[in-house]
Chains A and B, each alone.
Chain A
Amino acid sequence: MMLLDYAKRLVLLGGKLSAWLFLPMLVLVAIFDITTRRFLQLGSTPAQELEWHFFFAGVTFALGYAYLKDKHVRIDILRERLSPRTRLWIERTFLLTIMIPFALVIIWFGGRMTWLSYAQGEGSRAALGLPYRWLVKATLPIGAFLLLLACFYRLFRPMDSETPSSDGLTSPDRNTSISRDQTP
């Protein structure tokens, strides 16, 4: 079961990259673009493309992370009336029939998409745009791979909680209200 621990570490790393690298970079690039546009006239195209590059990477890298922490939105009206055993059974069924095939499709066809982009030397269609589109396209299959790892982890260790509150400052209700555990 060492493999599962490595999988979990990778998934968590993806989330941390999103939070501590891609998201701050997104803000910094946007601010840089706004402030320098008037004076430097670099043209906004590369900066704006860089923005959505960081954004896309931020989203894809965090998909598995959010599943591992059970942050994805669910419709809980019926679910909360079920016994934990039934819930677990439903979750595993859907993991096997929906999430894992979905992740595999995206890894396979997303990988092909990336490879095609690399082989064609695809760049921005805009004159001043960024080259190397395969870099940003590659984040989709990577993200799907992290999602796959998270799915496997939950398949085998459904109960293991992955939401330690990092400090006393966080209001616990934000988390619970988003995952809708508190409906009476």
Chain B
Amino acid sequence: MTFVEAIPLLMIVALIVLLFSGFPVGGILAGIGLGFAFLGIALGEFPLATLFIIPTRIYQTVGENLIYPAVPMLLFMGIALETSGAARELLVCLQRLLAWLPGSLCIAVILLGLILAPTAGLIGASVATIALAALPTMLDQRYRPEIATGSVAGAGTLGVIAPPAIMLFFLADALGVPLGTMFLGPIVPVLMLAFAYMSYFVIVACFGNARYAGAAAADDVPPGSLLLYIFRSLVLPVGLIVLVLGSIIAGWVAPTESAAVGAAGSAVLIILYRGFSLTVIKDALIKTVDVTAMVFFVVIGASIFSFVFRFYGGDDLALDFFEGLAMSQWGILAAILTILFILGFFIDWIEITLVSLPILHPVIESLDFSAYVGSGPLADVWIAVLVAVVLQTSFLTPPFGFALFFLKGASPPGIRMMTIYRGIVPLVIIQLLAVGLILLIPALATWLPDSLLEIR
């Protein structure tokens, strides 16, 4: 292996080492890409003129892209649901409606997680949002801390893979799956997971000890009529999400345009909840821009990194590696899912979908499960959904699970890390069962896109 042939491998090693410096990820990616480009120029391997392509590449990746403009609009929708106070009211309302169920607050939290899916731009943000809205109330009502934190972590990560979550946009892009399909694929698995979580909490509340003795009663009924209250707290936000998803499924608008519907609708929600306040809207816009710039700085860095990486033949790196191992298709799939699972402990999905998946994509593309799943495009959906659920599982898995650290950060000081770990173990078992089920029964992922969009 000559030095130039080893460059892709060196780039990956440099990436792993430098990422842990704690410098912004987008900068590291861009820097390694440029650094190795300059090295190539010095060695006479990389023509100087190729540098001209770099800004053009950024422009083509981020600019002339019809999907990405939806991302800030969906982020705005999620942030607006949070800043307007809609999320908190929704939680209270859900709990009141579910009060007849044992463990009602846990169930309400899970549902809230699903409804707040567009906020789940980042695991940290969604877990923190739900934790802030729900944990104090849960502890007040004397839920055991491990039950309370478990339901919050589960709900927060479920939102990361529930459409229209932002991660699905990037997964669709990285895996070459159409966006509409990528939204529909995870719906059945997500509902299945949500149902399993809720059943678990109901069972614990019935037979276990979800709460300490002498539970306090729920808050007083708010003034005004109950119907109006339900309309305001439940129907409006849920209706908005249904409108966004429904307009895609009905084919009124393209998946990307549904984000505009969501953004405009949530601006109306802000006004309904807080009156016409420019400060609140401005604030939501600023927060949206913060997150948008953060996400797309990584996209920009990754586009430079992958450009230089491909130039040096990096695409073959993962392919050659897996060919050398001489594994079966199933072996390779298992290896890829395991790699992603482990990566999910340490890094957010942004880096995984933008850096790791492009490197692994040639291998994923070489897999042919069309006989097992039914057809080529359906097999792609199946793998994409598997990737999504595996990533979500890894965010939850102790001791590293990403979501757990954020949860600890947003929890009241009395809650210890061990408590969080203990609460999450049953949910991790549910997650692993779900991954196994999707592997065994691909229809769980493919049935809905297949029957609604008739992809074959």
Contacts and interface: CB of A to CB of B under 8 A. Distances in A.
A174 B125 contact: yes
A120 to B, nearest CB: 13
Given A30-B257, A31-B264, A77 B289 contact: no
Interface in B27-74: 27-28, 30-31, 34-35, 51-52, 54-56, 58-59, 62-66, 68-69, 72-73
B31 A27 contact: no
A27 B350 CA distance: 24
Shortest Cβ-Cβ A-B pairs, 6 listed: A182-B409, A79-B22, A98-B31, A30-B260, A72-B24, A66-B293
Interface residues of B, number: 78
A180 B370 CA distance: 41
A177 B409 contact: yes
A9 interface: no
Contacts, number: 238
B89 interface: no
A181 B156 CA distance: 19
Nearest to B348: A73
Interface string B1-41: 00000000000000000011111111110110011000000
Interface in B91-147: 122, 124-125, 127-129, 132
Given A82-B22, A136-B59, A182-B405, 19 more contacts: A18-B289, A26-B72, A30-B257, A34-B253, A58-B289, A66-B290, A74-B22, A75-B20, A75-B25, A75-B351, A98-B31, A98-B35, A99-B31, A109-B51, A110-B55, A166-B279, A166-B283, A174-B82, A178-B122
B82 A78 contact: no
Contacts of A18: 289, 292-293
A60 B170 CA distance: 19
B265 to A, nearest CB: 10
B406 interface: yes
B286 interface: yes
Interface string B321-364: 00000000000000000000000001110110000000000000
B125 A23 contact: no
Interface in A167-184: 167, 169-171, 173-178, 180-184
Contact of A20 (B66, B280, B285, B292): B285
B232 interface: no
B291 interface: yes
Contacts of B291: 71, 178
A79 B28 CA distance: 15
With most chain A CB atoms within 10 A of its CB, the pick from B30, B58, B350 is B58
Secondary structure class of chain B's binding surface, majority of residues: helix
Contacts of A80: 22
B280 to A, nearest CB: 6
Contacts of A170: 83, 283, 287
A90 B22 contact: yes
Contact of B54 (A65, A106, A178, A180): A106
Nearest to A94: B23
B124 A180 contact: yes
Interface string B250-268: 0001000101110110010
A23 B286 CA distance: 10
B453 interface: no
B410 A177 contact: yes
A136 B60 CA distance: 11
Interface string B272-284: 0000000110110
B288 interface: yes
Given A90-B21, A102-B34, A26 B69 contact: yes
B382 interface: no
A141 B59 CA distance: 11
A109 B52 contact: yes
Contact of B23 (A19, A82, A98, A182): A98
Nearest to A55: B69
B54 A173 contact: no
Contact of A19 (B52, B286, B409): B286
10 contacts: A15-B293, A27-B73, A31-B261, A31-B264, A33-B257, A94-B31, A102-B34, A166-B282, A175-B290, A177-B125
Contacts of B350: 73
A82 B73 CA distance: 37
Contacts of A72: 24-27, 293-294, 297
A63 B293 contact: yes
A66 B351 CA distance: 18
B298 interface: yes
B72 A55 contact: yes
Nearest to B22: A79
B76 interface: yes
Nearest to A124: B64
A67 interface: yes
Interface string A43-60: 000001001111110110
A19 B30 CA distance: 25
Contacts of B24: 67, 72-74
Interface in A9-27: 15-16, 18-20, 23-24, 26-27
A73 B25 contact: yes
Nearest to B20: A78
A23 B410 contact: no
Given A59-B62, A109-B51, A79 B294 contact: no
A110 B417 CA distance: 48
B229 interface: no
Nearest to B23: A94
Contact of B263 (A27, A110, A173): A27
Nearest to B260: A30
B408 A182 contact: yes
A169 B279 CA distance: 9
Interface string A101-115: 110011001101100
